[in-house]
Structure 1
Amino acid sequence: MASINNIIKEITPLTPNDCFTIFSRVKKEFNFPIHFHEEYELNLILNAKGAKRIVGDNIDVIGDLELVLIGPNLPHVWLTHECNSEITEITMQWHKDLFEEKFLKRNQMTLIKNMLEKSLRGISFSPEMINTIQPRLIALKDSNGFNSVLELLSILHELSMSKSMVLLSNSSFMNAANLKHNSRRLEKAFEFMNNNYDKEISLKDLAKLTNMTEESFSRFIKKRTGNTFINSLNEIRLGHASRMLIDTTHTITEISYLCGFNNISNFNRLFKKKKHCTPKELRENYSGHRIFI
């Protein structure tokens, strides 16, 4: 993973003997800088309409109800932006190894396992799911002991059954060590694209790499990821471009060409379409993260 300039690593108060921590607060503004940490985080935010959320390379203005699951080492922050109300925030954090891999591989844990893998990109949940989970989180913050651990597992199970999860950050923005694919051929293809995103890459190259025909690989990547080959490649290039916008002083035009885009207009158009902001706006959002409007 590239260095994360101006993004701090949070040391949470969890000790090795703890299972999780949950804390709540009422405040007038968001005043914590952009950060990441080793732990999973479930963040419930109420009455913060107009605040801005940044998760990885995703930027959104939120409504009155917000529930987001953040995976390990994923940079994130909430900014006051246009919010001018009293905010309620309940945050739960737990160790990334609280549930061991062998445990998560059991049949009954499949949905939770899949959700935790998706959380490496950040997950936003629907208002309907928030209304279901909100009273349970509020009750959990006042409880303790063994039953609290069972309730955490139950809440995660409820969330994992959601049909309306929204993945926030592009996969290429994540810590490479967190990437998990269900297929070795897909891993090879994504590894190749990540290592050669600055060069010309064709469908023929990836088909040859995975010992498949072009037509077969095209169907394969679409079925496994929901994305076409060219969309997957563009997301990887845009992810690297986002990282460069944050970590370097290269001009936007330089970054465009360094990331394999041969046309600055096409780069700007794709960037705006995928990230709902311009490259300049993304750079300003990160460089100005210590300023709260």
Structure 2
Amino acid sequence: MKLVFEKILPSDNLSWRYWLYEQENIGFHWHYHPEYEIALILNSKGQRYVGDNIDNYNEFDMAFIGPNMPHTWCSSLEVNGQKQHTYVAQIPKAWLEGLIYGMPDLASLKNLLTLSRRGIKFSKQAVVQAAKIFAKMEQEDATSRFIGLMDILHIMDRDQDKQVLSSDGFKLTTTSDPSTEKIDKAVRYIHEHYTDAICANDIATLLHMSTNHFHRFFKHHTEQTFTEFVNQLRISKACSLLINTTKPIYTISDTCGFNNISNFNRRFLQFKAMKPSEFRKIYTGKNAVLV
């Protein structure tokens, strides 16, 4: 399968991306991106591909993968009838290296970054410890998630049984493909027009694609449908306004591109599992001061 560039965007109110996938099996998706990645997989069995390394993995697996290292997992169907869980942390290169190389407190993690250029796998004990932190992050605020991320990096660094994966001589011959410019253009357009009545046909025309082709292209490169991506961006912007301003909720709904307050409330509940008013009550004063 062709190597694909994947576009990564940070999660709400984070400098990095935290994500949990729940699925019946993991499909082969050979890809790369400029971010560091921690991937922790539970209740799954199959093959892990990192650079030129192919290895079997069992129900507890975690890897730390450096920038632009091709990778994927590929699993069989459900184990014991349960969904397979994949926790992912994707961390911008400049941000993470700025922290670790800029703070003597984190100097011990420098070698971890170096090893990650070949990919690293970890012991079951380290995976179990990290899994507890990843699971807890689901209900945590941005500050607690940052602390959790540092804890996971510390666990990985202290794991005496970690092993590098890809050979020292493996190099990605190219870090670009024709689709990279197109997906960047699409994402940039969405960010510039998310407050409008944006539609997939507009971007398909911009990229000289049919609308159906664009939908497949976008899902392949972002792992989200076009509609999911737009709604998530709008909800992310709404969360920031709910926390950092005293604007009425109906004004925030309109500002973020929702056509009516009912649709806004429905989408907010879908992504945040709570109403906008409940979100504001919980997070106001915790992450920011109202202006």
* TM-score scaled by length of structure 1: 0.54
The equivalent of 1:113 in structure 2 is 110
Whole-angstrom distance in 2 between the partners of 1:168 and 1:32: 18
The equivalent of 1:64 in structure 2 is 59
Deviation at 1:71, TM superposition (A): 0.8
| One of 11, 15, 25 as aligned partner of 2:7 | 11
| One of 166, 169, 177 as aligned partner of 1:169 | 166
The equivalent of 1:153 in structure 2 is 150
Query: Are 1:48 and 2:44 counterparts?
Result: yes
Query: Are 1:31 and 2:27 counterparts?
Result: yes
The equivalent of 1:125 in structure 2 is 122
Aligned length: 172
Secondary structure, aligned partner of 2:139: coil
Q: Is the 8 A contact 1:105 1:113 kept in 2?
A: no
Deviation at 1:113, TM superposition (A): 1.2
Q: Over aligned residues, Cα RMSD in angstroms?
A: 2.6
Whole-angstrom distance in 1 between the partners of 2:59 and 2:7: 29
Q: Identity of counterpart residues, as a percentage? A: 27
The superposition leaves residues 158-177 of structure 1 with CA deviations (integer Å, 9 ceiling, x where unpaired) of 21111111100012113489
Letter in 2 for 1:52: Q
Whole-angstrom distance in 1 between the partners of 2:97 and 2:108: 15
The equivalent of 2:137 in structure 1 is 140
Secondary structure, aligned partner of 1:54: strand
Q: Is the 8 A contact 1:111 1:161 kept in 2?
A: no
The superposition leaves residues 60-83 of structure 1 with CA deviations (integer Å, 9 ceiling, x where unpaired) of 111110011111100001112x45
How do 1:156-235 and structure 2 match up within 5 A?
156-175=153-172
Secondary structure, aligned partner of 1:72: coil
Letter in 2 for 1:70: I
Q: Which has the higher contact order (CA 8 A, sep 6+)?
A: 1
Pick which of 104-113 and 14-23 moved more.
Answer: 14-23
Gaps of 5+ in 1: 179-293
The equivalent of 2:233 in structure 1 is none
